[in-house]
Amino acid sequence: MPLHKLRPVENLTQVDKIEMSLQEFLKAENYQPGDPLPKEIELAKAMGVSRTAIREALSRFRTLGIIESRKNRGMILAKPDLFVNMERVLDPQLLDDETLNELFEMRLVIEVGLGDLLFRSRQQADFKQLEAIIEKEKKAKSSIERLKCDMEFHSALYRLSGNDTIARFQKILLPIFEHVYLKLKDASMPYPSNLADEKKPVTHQDLLKTLKRGTLEQFRRQMRQHLLVYFKKLNS
């Protein structure tokens, strides 16, 4: 029986179809962020639908950050915010353990590769903030204080990378990192107990020293070793 000739039946509401049609229109007309959009009544007339249906479709766009309203200008195409909806759903309390661990692993992979961006701009970098965090870490008296210092140090590295998108992404994931950190016994310690068998655990001081005067390959290797404890714990 040639079932491959059958096509799925569309199960779309009128608003779904309006949304798809508007997306195609914006692409075809090469709309750019800041460009004004036609008025609701103009869209409704052109598409042969009610203003209520148009308004609902536009409301979806507004929720996604695709359009916004400006005083005296009406609706305009907004600059897409890649993370506007991610911030709303990435609540560690709403995610299962597997997803939390995978997000944490993704963070570790990103940081190993962060060296490329850091070394590209290290000649103009201001390392005073990293130095201050390390000094504060030395004086920390509790695991919570050390955890905060650890997160501050790595957050500062993201900012120093000069890539605002990566830095924003890390900021959104920060509550998840903290949640997983606290679940990993001793993972926030500067010298984790389960790295006692390592010849030389890599500290934040080591990373900063290499960032200042070492090579990119050394930094990658050290960051990998520095984060090894988390890989081991997540997969144990």
pLDDT recorded at residue 199 = 57
- Hey, what amino acid is at 126? D
CA distance 25 to 70: 21
Domain that holds residue 227: 86-234
What's the mean pLDDT in 37-55?
Answer: 94
Does pTM top 0.75 for this prediction? no
pLDDT recorded at residue 188 = 42
Length of the chain: 236
CATH code for the domain in which residue 13 is found: 1.10.10.10
CA distance 24 to 17: 11
The H or E element containing residue 51 is helix 51-63
**The domain boundary residue, chosen from 30, 47, 77:** 77
pLDDT exceeds cutoff 50 at 147? yes
pLDDT tens for 161-218 read 999 999 988 988 888 888 777 776 544 444 344 444 455 689 999 999 999 999 999 9
pLDDT tens for 2-32 read 556 555 546 789 999 999 999 999 999 999 9
128 and 208 both lie in a single domain? yes
Structure tokens, 176: 């998840």
